[in-house]
Amino acid sequence: MSRCVVRSLVVDWHSDDEWCAEHPTLLEVTAGVSCWQTGGMSSTATSATPDTSVYLDRLAKVRVSMVEQNVDTVMVSVGHDLPYLSGYSAMPLERLTMLVVPRDGVATMVIPGLEAARVEPQPGVFELLPWGETEDPTAIVGKLAAGSKRIAVGDQMWARFLVELLPHLPGAEYTRAVDVVGHLRMSKDQAELDALAAAGAAVDKIAGELQRGEIPLVGRTEAEVSAHLGRRIIEEGAQKVNFAIVAAGENASSPHHHPGDRVIKKNEIVLTDFGGTMNGYCSDTTRCVFTGEIAPDVAEAYEVLFAAQAAGVAAATVGTPCQDVDRACRKVIDDAGYGEYFIHRTGHGIGLEAHEDPYIVEGNALPLAHGHAFSVEPGIYIPGKWGMRLEDIAAATNDGPVSFNNSDHHLISVDA
């Protein structure tokens, strides 16, 4: 596995690897920041940081859901529900940070004392409760939630925190916080849509560079091009690189290929799928280029892919079930005879997280609503030969589908 230089900047702080596994393909990144400083919506985020009223409004809606779902307490820690509800991203380390939200009464942010200064106070949203190095933070959380019968915990809260919490709240029943927070996070407000649009525009510039042949390909390894894309994502304003897949020729037939030592050759397809997190919100786009004159079988399939992706975006209107967007893409590919080579769902929701609800997949009958943002990314993968995918982030709005990725959608022959 390649080394992540972003992480190596803080390697003295932690010896564990796991929280950095999300961008293992980066060989080099020039930003002088660490993952935890930039993950999620930090208190230093600018344009996308809503004011206190936004968090008060979100917490009020969470409490309505808590009543409906018969949840007494919501607990969110590491992960994306915490910044969504408080504006603060926890450091993903062993010391516990936890926002404890009772159904009635004020929320409390339990935080390591040495990290309290990182938190921007949000008067009326939560009270800060720092704990000292010799205290047991799970006991503190247990006291705050005493008497709770049903507790909703964030998906990304670490198992160790929950396991340590269990003895402090005997008899409580646990459920996922996605039941009370997920539907709120799914419907983006205008500031969130603007943040997604800005993040998308930033990576579109990089796609344009690829398509104009400004990013050297032939003779470089996939990993080198991946590192190049990662560096550009940071230069274009993202604080964090989420992934930069580069897959050449036959490797492109593996949708989540891990860029490696494979050297890119002349006359083959190069699939790139990359995105970062900018001011808390994610980007994610896929474009393919061809290093030479496009082979006829590839050109023929790409026309189908192009039409399928456009059909998917066009279908993404308010009220349309998510699965119908998938069906719209799939029908075009099926009708052209490539159905068996479209081996994944059409898309995923996106926001604070690179993948979140709603999923654009058969079986998801959820009707799209204004503010739902998601990828539309059909692909055609011929095992051992080549693969192709075309991905935009789109949003359903009352004015129709909006695409946040607007770089050229064609397969472009590059001399690079």
Question: Binding of Zn ion at residue 241 (CB under 5 A)?
Answer: no
Contact 204, 403 (CB under 8 A): no
Per CB under 5 A, the segment of 7-15, 86-94, 217-225, 297-305 that binds Zn ion is 7-15
Q: Which is nearer to Zn ion, 19 or 174 (CB)?
A: 19
Kindly indicate which of the ranges 49-57, 249-257, 265-273, 356-364 contains the residues binding Zn ion, using the contact rule CB under 5 A: 265-273
Q: What's the min distance (Å) between Cβ of 213 and Zn ion?
A: 22
Q: Which of residues 47-106 bind Zn ion (CB under 5 A)?
A: none
Question: Can you tell me which of 7, 80, 188, 257 binds Zn ion, judged by CB under 5 A?
Answer: 7
Which of 72, 222, 268, 273 is close enough to bind Zn ion by CB under 5 A?
273
Ordered DSSP codes for 280-322: TEE--EEEEEESSSPPHHHHHHHHHHHHHHHHHHHH--TT-BH
In whole angstroms, the minimum distance from the beta carbon of 85 to Zn ion comes to: 25
Which one, 92 or 154, has the nearer CB to Zn ion?
A: 92
Instruction: Count residues near Zn ion (CB under 5 A).
Output: 10
223 sits near Zn ion (criterion: CB under 5 A): no
Q: Which residues inside 351-380 make contact with Zn ion, applying CB under 5 A?
A: 375
Q: Which residues contact 390 (CB under 8 A, 6 or more apart)?
A: 286, 287, 288, 305, 306, 309, 377, 378, 379, 409
Q: Which is nearer to Zn ion, 6 or 305 (CB)?
A: 6
Q: How far apart are CA 143 and CA 247, in angstroms?
A: 51
Angle (CA) 336 388 287, round 5°: 125
- Would you say 42 or 375 has its CB closer to Zn ion? 375
- Tell me the closest approach of the beta carbon of residue 286 to Zn ion, in angstroms: 5
Residues 268 and 254 sit within 8 Å (Cβ to Cβ): no
Nearer to Zn ion, 168 or 355 (CB): 355
Q: Of the two residues 71 and 278, which places its CB atom closer to Zn ion in the complex?
A: 278
Residue with smaller CB distance to Zn ion, 324 or 391: 391
* Cβ(393)–Cβ(283) below 8 Å: yes
Site for Zn ion contains 6 (CB under 5 A): yes
> Least distance to Zn ion from the beta carbon of 102, Å?
35
User: What is the contact mask toward Zn ion in residues 387 to 416, using x (rule: CB under 5 A)?
Assistant: ----x-------------------------
Return the ∠ at Cα 104 (arms to 100 and 105), rounded to 5°. 70
* E strand map for 61-145: 73-76, 98-102, 107-112, 126-131
* Pairing label, strands 269-278, 379-382: unpaired
**Region of 81-89, 208-216, 277-285, 314-322 interacting with Zn ion (CB under 5 A):** 277-285
Distance, C-alpha 323 to centroid of its chain: 20
Q: Which of 192, 204, 222, 284 binds Zn ion (CB under 5 A)?
A: 284
Per CB under 5 A, 165 contacts Zn ion? no
Asked whether position 20 contacts Zn ion by CB under 5 A, the answer is: yes
CA–CA separation, 54 and 133 (whole Å): 33
Separation between Cα atoms, residue 348 and residue 374, nearest integer Å: 5
Q: Cβ(88)–Cβ(120) under 8 Å? A: yes
**CA pseudo-torsion sign 218, 220, 226, 227:** negative
**Which residue lies nearer to Zn ion by CB, 25 or 86?**
25
Backbone phi, psi, residue 207, to 5°: -60, -40
Looking at 25, 31, 35, 346, which residue binds Zn ion (CB under 5 A)? Answer: 35
Which residues sit at the interface with Zn ion, rule CB under 5 A? Answer: 4, 6-7, 20, 35, 273, 284, 286, 375, 391
